[in-house]
Structure 1
Amino acid sequence: MSDFQQELDARGLNCPLPILRTKKAINGLTSGQVLKVIATDPGSVKDMEAFCKQTGNAMISTAEAGGEYTFMIQKA
């Protein structure tokens, strides 16, 4: 799926940096746009789910491959 407006590379960053950068990137998008986040911190899986619940943004998909986690988040 390449239907996204912005990509955030959070590889190599540990909590809370991936979530802080995601928050900043999402704030720069307009409603309905999609942010693709790539992270290597295993904790980011729960963090991103919690972030979406708290902010009302939609988690479209999550995937894991070779220790990299990819999140597709749609701005509310």
Structure 2
Amino acid sequence: MSASEYDAELDARGLFCPEPVMMLHNRINDVEPGGVLRVVATDPSTTRDIPRFCQFLGHELVGRAESGDLFIYLIRRGT
């Protein structure tokens, strides 16, 4: 995922539930509606929590990947 694919980034490496989603809740507001936020996390619970966050708050999970112990998400902010 290159930097041209997203508008902002949240580095949540080393944080554990519920911190990554709490930080995501704040950081997504810094992104313009329709913009994409890249989230990098190491907590496996984000594989459950981030898709639910998007579903409940009207954001679109446009991409996700795992690389070793990293979980990477691309989230398009809803309106």
Task: Give, as a single letter, the amino acid of the residue that structure 2 aligns with 1:69.
Answer: F
Any runs of at least 4 consecutive aligned residues in structure 1 with deviations exceeding 4 A, and if so which? none
Task: Give, as a single letter, the amino acid of the residue that structure 1 aligns with 2:34.
Answer: G
Task: Give, as a single letter, the amino acid of the residue that structure 2 aligns with 1:59.
Answer: L
Match in the other structure for 2:57: 55
- Residues 22-33 of structure 1: pairs in structure 2 closer than 5 A: 22-33=24-35
- Percent identity over the alignment? 39
Aligned length: 76
For residues 35 and 49 of structure 2, the distance between their equivalents in structure 1, rounded to whole angstroms, comes to 20
Match in the other structure for 1:66: 68
Whether 1:37 aligns to 2:52 is no
Structure 1 stretches of 5 or more lacking a match? Answer: none
Task: Give, as a single letter, the amino acid of the residue that structure 1 aligns with 2:68.
Answer: G
Q: What is the CA-CA distance between 1:15 and the residue it aligns to?
A: 0.4
Structure 2 stretches of 5 or more lacking a match? Answer: none
TM-score, length-scaled by structure 2:
0.93
RMSD between superposed Cα atoms in Å: 0.7
For residues 27 and 16 of structure 1, the distance between their equivalents in structure 2, rounded to whole angstroms, comes to 18
